[in-house]
Structure 1
Amino acid sequence: MITELNKLLEGVETHLCESLDIPALANSLGTTEYHLRRMFSSLTGMPLSEYVRRRRMTVAAAEVVEGAPLLDVAVRFGYSSAEAFGRAFLAVHGAGPGEVRRNGGPLRSQPKLRLRLTVEGNTSMDTRIADRPAFRLVGHATRVPLLHEGVNPHIAAHIAALPGVEHARLKALANTEPAGLLQVSADVDPDYTEGSELTYMHGVALDAATAAPDDLDVIEVPAGVWAVFRTSGPYPTALQQTYAASATEWFPSNPWRLRPGPSIAAVLDRAEDFSTATTELWLPIERA
């Protein structure tokens, strides 16, 4: 996977002044755009689209300082107007092209990335592969912003608004794996951009033969293979660290890649105040 991502980075540099066909590049590397984007974001801490924008503005800044006409620079880097270019330039550098041209700065450069895999072998991941038939997720869904660390207050508010009897009702409905009450994230931005919206569901899993109650939201999940990561520790920190480690340690070392689909966190056991928990993280995968 590291090799594929470095070829992606080479492609970004080659196409800084034009559109980069990510699906075609992913196909040529024997992987998928979905997996490429998610692994890039997980390993670098930024969406691929943001890295491309920063690199373009880094190279464009040199032309701005040298006095090239702004419209010419804008068009060369794929912008339809000097105004659109100026907004992108300001977002990256914190100053507009005119100010930078007059003062020579400030400039915030994005260096070229080069990824290397460091194998330490001191982290054991409790993982199993589950080949599951189609099932459905049912529960209470809402749209929330994506947050990478800490408790998501929007999710917490959504769960807190549910009556206590509803949790017991959902538990009674569950009849297949993943077991118990589930935290489901679906329709996630492929770049995993912080602040982007996703569908969050507080619910349970039903087998495909069981109909969902009419008053509950439903996510149909096709048959497929899942990587299941079990972890225990501070909640939600341990769960979030497991998700990050799946990208930095597990996927680079195993012949699997992410496929589109919901990610599911099953809470198997927890402290009364939810400060610690034992969880299973279910990620949809396919052979690489």
Structure 2
Amino acid sequence: MLERLNQAMEHIERRLDDSIDVGELARTAATSEYHLRRMFSALAGMPLSEYIRRRRLTVAGAEVLAGERTLLEIAVRYGYGSGEAFARAFRAVHGVGPGEARRTGATLSSQPRMTFRLVVDGSSSMRYRVVDKPDFNVVGAKARVPLVHSGPNQAIIDFVRGTGARAKEPLERLSDQEPHGILSVCDDLDPGRAEGTSLDYYYGVVTSASAPEGMTTLPVPAGTWAVFTASGPAPEAIQTLWRDVFTEWFPSNPYRSRPGPELLRTRMSADGSEADAELWLPVERETH
């Protein structure tokens, strides 16, 4: 998988001054476009689209300083429809406009080329199982919240305190299949998983029952799920589990992620400092 991913990175470098088809990148990496975006974001710490933008503007920055082409020629070469659009993007990455950079020889930012390699770190193993599950419903309270990579998600905390406290008891009575109990369910995430992008968050249960008044139903089709467990400090243990699944488990196993909700069951210690977590991710077998 990592060798194929590096081939996709080479493909990006060859086409920085041309259009880049993410579907073609996914075929180069021998995976789906959805999984490529998810894998890249987890491994690189930024969305694939952001990496491509930064690499283009890094190379464009060198051309701006070289002074061999006009700024408009450089803008068009790297896919910008106008000098104004290029200047805005250039300033966002480099902190200075291209005209000023050329006049003053300003110091610019650089996004290095990325390559991926496997690093063996420790000897711990991940606990997981694979489950084929028929279609089911997630029933619960729903909110649109921002994605937070590290630390508490205050929007979710406020939502659960406000709405979830009233819904907990009636929802628990509806739970009639795995994973049992109250869950945190994330759906409709941006494939690149950029910090601050929005997602649908459900405080709910997996059930065959209908939603009571005031609750929302999320129908989930039949499919395969990889189920991971972890224990440790909250919320770090859960956020680390999410990261490790994409940086360690997927590159080492013949599965890829597929679109669908992500289900998290958490059991907190009495003082709220420790958590036992069970994470359900929708997957499919890789086909080559």
TM-score, normalised via structure 1 length:
0.96
> Structure 1 residues 165, 109: CA separation in 2 closer, same or farther (over 3 Å shift)?
closer
24-33 or 70-79: which moved more? Answer: 24-33
The Cα of 1:164 is off from its aligned counterpart by: 3.2
Which residue is 1:217 aligned to? 216
Letter matched to residue 283 of structure 1: L
Which ranges in structure 2 are unaligned for 5 or more consecutive residues?
none
CA distance in 2, matches of 1:172, 1:22: 44
**Cα deviation 1:77-121 (Å, max 9, x = unaligned):** 000000000011001111110121112122001111111111245
1:256 aligns to 2:255 (yes or no) = yes
CA distance in 1, matches of 2:207, 2:194: 30
Letter matched to residue 83 of structure 1: E
1:94 aligns to 2:95 (yes or no) = yes
CA distance in 2, matches of 1:253, 1:121: 15
Tell me the C-alpha RMSD between the 2 structures: 1.3
**Cα deviation 1:65-88 (Å, max 9, x = unaligned):** 122211111100000000000011
The Cα of 1:28 is off from its aligned counterpart by: 4.6
Which residue is 1:43 aligned to? 43
Helix, strand or coil at the partner of 1:106: coil
Q: Identity across aligned pairs (percent)? A: 50
Which residue is 1:194 aligned to? 195
What is the total number of aligned residue pairs between the two structures? 285
The Cα of 1:273 is off from its aligned counterpart by: 3.3
Helix, strand or coil at the partner of 1:167: helix
> Structure 1 residues 37, 78: CA separation in 2 closer, same or farther (over 3 Å shift)?
same
Which residue is 2:105 aligned to? 104
CA distance in 2, matches of 1:222, 1:109: 44
Helix, strand or coil at the partner of 1:161: helix
Helix, strand or coil at the partner of 2:156: helix
Which residue is 1:246 aligned to? 245
Which residue is 2:272 aligned to? 274
TM-score, normalised via structure 2 length:
0.96
> Structure 1 residues 97, 131: CA separation in 2 closer, same or farther (over 3 Å shift)?
same
* Residue pair 1:95, 1:106 contacting (<8 A) in 2 also: no
CA distance in 1, matches of 2:121, 2:20: 34
Which ranges in structure 1 are unaligned for 5 or more consecutive residues?
none
**Cα deviation 1:182-209 (Å, max 9, x = unaligned):** 00110000001001111111111113xx
Which residue is 2:4 aligned to? 4
* Residue pair 2:8, 2:28 contacting (<8 A) in 1 also: no
- Which runs of structure 1 show a deviation greater than 4 angstroms over 4 or more consecutive aligned residues? none
1:236 aligns to 2:250 (yes or no) = no
Aligned pairs for 1:40-119 (under 5 A) are 40-67=40-67, 68-119=69-120
Helix, strand or coil at the partner of 2:129: strand
The Cα of 1:272 is off from its aligned counterpart by: 2.4
198-207 or 159-168: which moved more? Answer: 159-168
* Residue pair 1:130, 1:226 contacting (<8 A) in 2 also: yes
55-64 or 27-36: which moved more? Answer: 27-36
Letter matched to residue 265 of structure 2: A
